[in-house]
């Protein structure tokens, strides 16, 4: 795990950067790589790389990056891990390649020399890659299939500037800090703008499963090399290079068997966890006491001859948010070396400036707070690599909201579409006057979507609806960019083009992989864990698991009203029954309580005096009403207020540059 950045000058002007600028850019990424640093500057000074290393595999100087091909024509940087690098090593050594290190990065170079741009299909792992090919005079940027690792870029003044984090790009003197007005609408809906958009004007993020090639003349080609729902069969990777191939797991004749699904899930999950134990430094697990993290612990314990290091976080004085009892049960059951940290409002408050700095763009998810403290706990105890449980609920329909959305779609939304338009609009007007007055925006938005013929499901976030957004934003503020609904509609169209028979649950899961999972949930894991120089690995999002899970029928994912049914059956006998079938709690942070009490005055002042409100983007009266309703307990507006506070603090730090 590392930090990468660089510049390609493809214009006709003389190069405008030097090694000092590359070092300045990479130094902003020191938290991602505190162990080593490196630069590369081409002979004509038109290409430059900056690198910061977090040493995980091959801790010797041989693992230094940027890394070069034998003849020096290829320079490469990797942020992430290639879990099948030993398999690739055996292949390339058999072809006469001589390795100079034990690093996984070296295998990428040989894969590129052997397969060209198809090299990406040979890689199993999480990665953001930057590669300069001197022979073909091209820069290649790649983001991993799922989007575990971020990669940002911008074009301007005849240059491409890129980095693992936006803060590195902002060090370039030609890059300005401007709010992307067109992203504001999507931020309020999705809590982070969809790729390739960011909250910074003219700064973009590479989409998951995409690679981009930029030639020395500035010709740009971007293509999608992977999707969770392929149009045609995708290149497969054997589970460990020698055993069960992916093609057998995807055998259509076996998918209807529940027993085969369970067996395949176990096989894939055990392999994914085993692969992610590849490390030359101490590793452990973030343990919440839920199904996913508990399964990580159980399967890891099977493979280890020492106790698993586990790390949990709780909140002082707010017991309803804590799952520590279940985490301790798993720790006892599997005899882990267990650690805990307790967070209170003061600790979280003191962390806010650092949170804004490390997020780069606002991530409207307060789970960033406990995630930081449990990451710091791991680092303070000498653990550098952790496995986390993200991605399971998205694949296997583990969210209660999925059940609600499916119920509404089947029994309300679809029948409502059969009504004449005048009847739908009459119902909407009648219900709207009542629900809007009561500020019941979510049910009102369901009716609005059905009335206007919009897709019901836009993603797993329903914090600020379109009706609420209209009240929140001043009528004079308008965005010329793509509206949130247009993104949702586009994603629904894409999945139906890829699979015309996709049922609504499959469509919902596909949307999660397009937006919320990579750009919000995985982004928070990357940014916050790396803030403490800890690498987080995500076994449930092994792409082989994702490809297989997308073929599992809906009636195995939700059965007898039980969400996540097939995964729960798969882990029976691996983790305790009460852990599997307890009521889902979810990883959360008590920002509602803090914003009602200790943080209330500060948050209201910070939002109402933020530069993001001017010129007249938001209604101050609406914001004051939200605070008042929340303080009085009329309704819980904590997530809406957190979304606004995060935006305000981000704008004042990054755009207005307030201290």
Q: Is residue 586 part of a domain?
A: no
368 catalytic per annotation: no
Number of compact structural domains in the chain: 4
| Preceding amide of 615 cis, omega within 30 | yes
Based on the domain organization, do 335 and 423 belong to the same domain? no
Count of residues in the chain: 659
Q: Is residue 522 part of a domain?
A: no
CA distance 178 to 239: 46
CA distance 452 to 524: 34
Choose one of 487, 513, 539: the last residue of a domain. Answer: 513
Catalytic residue among 2, 5, 261, 368: 2
Q: Which domain holds residue 419?
A: 400-513
305 Cβ contact partners less than 8 Å away, ≥ 6 residues apart? none
Based on the domain organization, do 572 and 595 belong to the same domain? no
| Sole residue written with tokens 């092994």 | 542
Q: Is residue 449 part of a domain?
A: yes
Q: What is the CATH number of the domain that holds 14?
A: 3.60.20.10
Q: Is residue 229 part of a domain?
A: no
| Token pair for 611 | 């530069």
Q: Is residue 613 part of a domain?
A: yes
pLDDT digits (tens, 9 = 90+) for 429-438: 998 889 888 8
Confidence of residue 255 (pLDDT cuts 50, 70, 90): low
DSSP 55-110: --S--SGGG-SSEE-TTS-EEEEEEEEETTHHHHHHHHHHTT---S-S-HHHHHHH
Q: Is residue 24 part of a domain?
A: yes
pLDDT digits (tens, 9 = 90+) for 584-595: 887 788 999 999
At residue 144, does pLDDT exceed 50? yes
Please give the pLDDT value at position 256.
63
CA distance 189 to 256: 37
Based on the domain organization, do 508 and 363 belong to the same domain? no
Based on the domain organization, do 551 and 638 belong to the same domain? no
Q: What average pLDDT does the chain have?
A: 93
Q: Is residue 36 part of a domain?
A: yes
Helix or strand run (H / E) with residue 41: strand 36-41
Based on the domain organization, do 432 and 321 belong to the same domain? no
Tell me the torsion sign for CA atoms 93, 96, 102, 108.
negative
CA distance 115 to 111: 6
Sheet arrangement for strand 125-133: 67-68, 74-82, 125-133, 138-143, 210-215, 220-224
| CA distance from start to end of the chain | 30
Specify the pTM.
0.95
Based on the domain organization, do 288 and 209 belong to the same domain? no
Q: What is the CATH number of the domain that holds 376?
A: 3.40.50.620
Based on the domain organization, do 71 and 207 belong to the same domain? yes
Based on the domain organization, do 437 and 412 belong to the same domain? yes
Based on the domain organization, do 261 and 218 belong to the same domain? no
Based on the domain organization, do 505 and 540 belong to the same domain? no
CA distance 357 to 650: 8
Do residues 514 and 195 make contact, with C-beta atoms less than 8 angstroms apart? no
Q: Is residue 450 part of a domain?
A: yes
CA distance 583 to 399: 11
Confidence of residue 254 (pLDDT cuts 50, 70, 90): low
Based on the domain organization, do 95 and 176 belong to the same domain? yes
Write down the number of H helices and E strands in the chain.
Answer: 28, 17
Sheet arrangement for strand 152-156: 36-41, 47-53, 2-9, 159-163, 152-156, 204-205
Least confident of 77-81, 190-194, 321-325, 518-522: 321-325
In degrees, to the nearest 5, what angle opens at C-alpha 359 toward C-alphas 383 and 210?
90
364 Cβ contact partners less than 8 Å away, ≥ 6 residues apart? 187, 191, 192, 463, 520, 639, 642, 643, 646, 647
Distances (CA, A) of 279 to 105, 136, 242, 300: 14, 34, 21, 13
Based on the domain organization, do 84 and 188 belong to the same domain? yes
pLDDT digits (tens, 9 = 90+) for 165-216: 999 999 999 999 999 999 999 999 999 999 999 999 999 999 999 999 999 8
pLDDT digits (tens, 9 = 90+) for 278-295: 999 999 999 999 999 999
């Amino acid at each position: 795990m590392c930090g990468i950045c660089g510049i390609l000058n493809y214009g006709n002007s003389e190069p405008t950067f030097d090694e000092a600028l590359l070092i300045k850019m990479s130094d902003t990424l020191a938290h991602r790589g505190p162990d080593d640093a490196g630069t590369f500057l081409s002979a004509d000074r038109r290409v430059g790389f900056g690198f910061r290393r977090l040493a995980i595999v091959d801790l010797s100087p041989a693992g230094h990056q940027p890394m070069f091909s034998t003849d020096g024509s290829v320079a490469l940087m990797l942020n992430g891990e290639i879990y099948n690098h030993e398999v690739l090593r055996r292949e390339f050594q058999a072809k006469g390649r001589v390795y100079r290190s034990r690093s996984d990065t070296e295998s990428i170079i040989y894969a590129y020399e052997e397969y060209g741009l198809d090299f990406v299909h040979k890689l199993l792992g999480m990665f953001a890659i930057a590669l300069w090919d001197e022979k073909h005079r091209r820069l290649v940027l790649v983001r991993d299939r799922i989007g575990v690792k971020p990669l940002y870029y911008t074009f301007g003044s005849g240059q491409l500037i890129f980095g693992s984090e936006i803060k590195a790009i902002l060090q370039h003197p030609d890059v300005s800090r401007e709010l992307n007005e067109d992203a504001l609408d999507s931020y309020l809906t999705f809590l982070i703008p969809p790729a390739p958009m960011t909250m910074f004007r003219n700064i973009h993020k590479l989409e998951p499963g995409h690679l981009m090639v930029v030639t020395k003349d500035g010709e740009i080609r971007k293509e999608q090399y992977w999707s969770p729902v392929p149009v045609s069969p995708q290149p497969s990777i054997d589970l460990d290079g020698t055993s069960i191939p992916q093609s057998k797991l995807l055998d259509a004749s076996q998918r209807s068997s529940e027993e085969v699904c369970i067996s395949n899930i176990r096989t894939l999950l055990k392999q994914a966890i085993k692969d992610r134990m590849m490390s030359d430094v101490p590793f452990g697990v973030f343990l919440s006491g839920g199904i996913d993290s508990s399964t990580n612990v159980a399967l890891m314990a099977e493979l280890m001859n020492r106790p698993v290091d586990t790390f949990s976080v709780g909140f002082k004085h707010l017991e309803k948010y804590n799952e520590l009892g279940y985490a301790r049960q798993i720790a006892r059951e599997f005899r882990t070396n267990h650690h805990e940290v307790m967070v209170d409002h003061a600790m979280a408050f003191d962390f806010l400036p650092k949170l804004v700095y490390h997020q780069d763009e606002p991530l409207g998810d307060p789970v960033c707070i406990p995630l930081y403290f449990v990451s710091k706990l791991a680092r303070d105890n000498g653990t550098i690599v952790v496995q986390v449980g993200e991605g399971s609920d998205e694949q296997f329909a583990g969210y209660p909201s999925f059940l609600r959305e499916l119920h509404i779609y089947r029994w309300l939304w679809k029948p409502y579409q059969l009504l004449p338009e005048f009847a739908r609009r009459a119902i909407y007007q009648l219900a709207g006057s009542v629900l809007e007055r009561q500020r019941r925006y979510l049910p009102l938005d369901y009716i609005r979507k059905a009335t206007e013929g919009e897709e019901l499901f836009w993603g797993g976030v329903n914090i600020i609806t379109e009706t609420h957004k209209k009240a929140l934003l001043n009528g004079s503020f308008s965005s010329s960019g793509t509206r949130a609904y247009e993104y949702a509609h586009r994603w629904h169209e894409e999945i139906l083009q890829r699979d015309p028979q996709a049922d609504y649950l499959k469509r919902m899961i596909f949307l999660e992989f397009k937006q919320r999972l990579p750009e919000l949930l995985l982004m928070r894991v990357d940014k916050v864990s790396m803030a403490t120089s800890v690498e987080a690995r995500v076994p449930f999002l092994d792409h082989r698991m994702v490809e297989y899970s997308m073929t599992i029928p809906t009636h195995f994912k939700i059965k007898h009203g039980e969400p996540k049914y097939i995964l729960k059956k798969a882990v029976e006998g691996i983790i305790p029954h009460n852990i599997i079938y307890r009521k889902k709690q979810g990883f959360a942070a008590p920002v509602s309580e803090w914003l009602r009490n200790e943080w209330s005055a500060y948050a209201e002042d910070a939002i109402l005096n933020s530069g993001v409100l001017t010129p007249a983007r938001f209604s101050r009266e609406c914001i004051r009403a939200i605070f008042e309703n929340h303080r009085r307990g009329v309704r819980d507006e904590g997530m809406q207020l957190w979304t606004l506070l995060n935006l305000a603090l981000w704008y004042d730090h990054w755009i207005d540059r307030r201290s």
